[in-house]
């Protein structure tokens, strides 16, 4: 694995991990300046410190540890009875619950954050890395997709992108563009994934967002592979994953590897695709990031069927995909797993070699 990348702040000269996306020294100084102007400086400083700790833990630590920090942020916001802090705290919980695979709890907290934001007149005394309301809208959109609410999920994502632009928050815009591409990949909308990836790559290059630049490259590669150009597509994906891992981030790597596995499968490199799935599943066990678990099981079932593996292994993979999706109450993932399993059963009944079917 490549050595973790380090960045140098152009303002204070501090070196920091590329996974953070921000200089913690400068962010703390800004929080201090704003906080000392109020009577609640210690609480504001604690909130700022905890949210920065949360951001770093989210991308580098096991999610159970990240959840403990998110809960501390939420408790502090409740104690202060501060609307702006409550939006940020709900953001922390929504994101963490999502990656743990608890989509219902993630949506509940995303909605709570949005509800407070929509009430109007919320002024934050702490500078956030990313506007919390944008993050809440983005994760509400992802959760709505899981619950089969396709129209509303698209509307929420569009609103999130629009709000980031309105606030001129470039990091929030990068977050929204990445997740918009992710949402489009759920729907196998190659042109939309390509469009979001291009916008994200341009923005990240201009703003020196190494983390999101790498993510945009993976999405570009997936879109091109799915459109038939697997050679160029896989090259983009591998480049993006290498650069992403160089930031030191562990979050989202299982999802990125799932995209790589799909591209390898389309390129008729099924053995490599299976190995990539195994790598992703090992990372899930290490990080507790279970939002991609159902898809990893489903893809494993498809790949095993392609190589003519033992029926028991194929059946177990599809059943694990359906079971996991049901446990997570993801209507869309249940339908996807059931459709793949039904296609497998149909092809098997024909007593002929398993034909490829849409991923």
pLDDT of 291 strictly over 70: yes
54-81 pLDDT per residue, tens: 999 999 999 999 999 999 999 999 999 9
CA angle 112, 118, 122 (to 5 degrees): 95
Percent of the chain at pLDDT exceeding 90: 80
pLDDT of 18 strictly over 80: no
Phi-psi region at 208: left, alpha or beta (left = phi > 0; alpha = psi -120 to 50): left
CA distances from 247 to 2, 235, 242, 344 (A): 9, 19, 9, 39
Q: What is the arithmetic mean of pLDDT over 102-109?
A: 98
pLDDT of 356 strictly over 80: no
pLDDT of 191 strictly over 80: yes
pLDDT at site 33: 42
274-285 pLDDT per residue, tens: 999 999 999 999
pLDDT of 23 strictly over 50: yes
Q: Which burial class, exposed, middle or buried, applies to 54 when counting CB atoms under 10 A from its CB (0-12, 13-18, 19+)?
A: buried
Q: With bands split at pLDDT 50, 70 and 90, how would you rate the model's confidence at 25?
A: very low
Do residues 147 and 330 lie in contact, with contact meaning Cβ atoms separated by under 8 Å? yes
123-143 pLDDT per residue, tens: 777 778 899 999 999 999 999
How far is it, in rounded angstroms, from Cα 310 to Cα 312? 5
pLDDT at site 199: 98
pLDDT of 297 strictly over 50: yes
Continuous H helices in the chain? 24-35, 41-60, 63-80, 83-100, 103-118, 132-146, 150-167, 170-186, 190-207, 210-226, 230-246, 253-266, 270-287, 293-306, 311-327, 331-349
Percent of the chain at pLDDT exceeding 70: 86
Residue scoring higher pLDDT (57 or 45): 57
Phi-psi region at 288: left, alpha or beta (left = phi > 0; alpha = psi -120 to 50): left
Do residues 124 and 170 lie in contact, with contact meaning Cβ atoms separated by under 8 Å? no
Nearest of 160, 102, 167 to residue 136 by alpha carbon: 160
CA 191 to chain centre: 20
Do residues 54 and 70 lie in contact, with contact meaning Cβ atoms separated by under 8 Å? yes
Q: Which long-range contacts (CB under 8 A, 24 or more apart) does 320-329 make?
A: 321/294, 321/295, 321/297, 322/294, 324/101, 324/290, 324/293, 324/294, 324/297, 325/294, 328/101, 328/102, 328/103, 328/146, 328/290, 328/293, 328/294, 329/103, 329/104, 329/146, 329/147
Extents of the domains making up the chain? 1-129, 259-359
146-176 pLDDT per residue, tens: 999 999 999 999 999 999 999 999 999 999 9
pLDDT at site 9: 56
Q: Which burial class, exposed, middle or buried, applies to 153 when counting CB atoms under 10 A from its CB (0-12, 13-18, 19+)?
A: buried
Q: With bands split at pLDDT 50, 70 and 90, how would you rate the model's confidence at 22?
A: low
What is the rounded average pLDDT for all residues in the chain?
Answer: 89
Q: Which burial class, exposed, middle or buried, applies to 231 when counting CB atoms under 10 A from its CB (0-12, 13-18, 19+)?
A: exposed
pLDDT at site 133: 97
pLDDT of 44 strictly over 90: no
CA angle 181, 184, 190 (to 5 degrees): 95
pLDDT at site 212: 97
Owner of token pair 């580098």: 60
Q: What is the arithmetic mean of pLDDT over 201-206?
A: 98
How far is it, in rounded angstroms, from Cα 255 to Cα 251? 9
pLDDT of 355 strictly over 70: no
Nearest of 100, 267, 85, 252 to residue 185 by alpha carbon: 252
pLDDT of 339 strictly over 80: yes
pLDDT of 32 strictly over 70: no
Q: With bands split at pLDDT 50, 70 and 90, how would you rate the model's confidence at 29?
A: very low
Q: With bands split at pLDDT 50, 70 and 90, how would you rate the model's confidence at 224?
A: very high
pLDDT of 1 strictly over 50: no
CA 350 to chain centre: 39
Q: What is the arithmetic mean of pLDDT over 208-228?
A: 97
pLDDT of 359 strictly over 80: no
pLDDT at site 350: 79
pLDDT of 357 strictly over 60: no
């Amino acid at each position: 694995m490549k050595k973790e990348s380090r960045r140098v702040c152009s303002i204070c000269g501090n070196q920091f991990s590329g996974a953070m996306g921000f200089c913690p020294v400068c962010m703390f100084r800004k929080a201090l300046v704003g906080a000392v102007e109020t009577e609640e400086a210690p609480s504001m400083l604690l909130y700022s410190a905890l949210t920065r700790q949360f951001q770093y833990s989210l991308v580098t630590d096991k999610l159970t540890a990240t959840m403990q920090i998110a809960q501390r942020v939420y408790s502090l916001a409740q104690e202060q009875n501060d609307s702006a802090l409550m939006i940020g705290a709900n953001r922390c919980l929504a994101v963490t619950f999502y990656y743990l695979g608890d989509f219902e709890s993630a949506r509940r907290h995303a909605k709570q954050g949005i509800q407070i934001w929509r009430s109007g007149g919320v002024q934050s005394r702490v500078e956030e890395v990313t506007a919390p309301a944008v993050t809440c809208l983005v994760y509400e959109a992802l959760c709505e997709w899981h619950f089969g609410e396709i129209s509303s999920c698209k509307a929420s994502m569009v609103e999130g992108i629009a709000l980031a632009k309105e606030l001129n928050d470039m990091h929030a815009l990068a977050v929204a563009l990445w997740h918009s591409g992710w949402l489009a990949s759920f729907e196998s909308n190659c042109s939309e994934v390509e469009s979001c990836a291009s916008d994200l790559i341009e923005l990240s290059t201009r703003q020196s967002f190494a983390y999101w630049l790498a993510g945009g490259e993976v999405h570009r590669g997936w879109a091109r592979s799915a459109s038939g150009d697997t050679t160029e597509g896989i090259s983009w994906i591998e480049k993006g994953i290498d650069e992403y891992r160089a930031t030191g981030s562990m979050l989202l790597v299982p999802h990125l590897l799932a995209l790589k596995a799909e591209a390898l499968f389309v390129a008729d490199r099924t053995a490599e695709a299976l190995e990539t799935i195994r790598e992703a599943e090992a990372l899930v066990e290490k990080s507790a990031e279970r939002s991609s678990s159902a898809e990893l099981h489903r893809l494993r079932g498809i790949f095993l069927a392609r190589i003519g593996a033992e029926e028991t292994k194929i059946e177990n993979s599809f059943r694990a995909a359906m079971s996991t999706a049901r446990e997570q109450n993801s209507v869309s993932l249940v339908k996807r797993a059931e459709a793949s399993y039904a296609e497998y059963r149909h092809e098997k009944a024909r007593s002929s070699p398993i034909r490829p079917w849409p991923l």
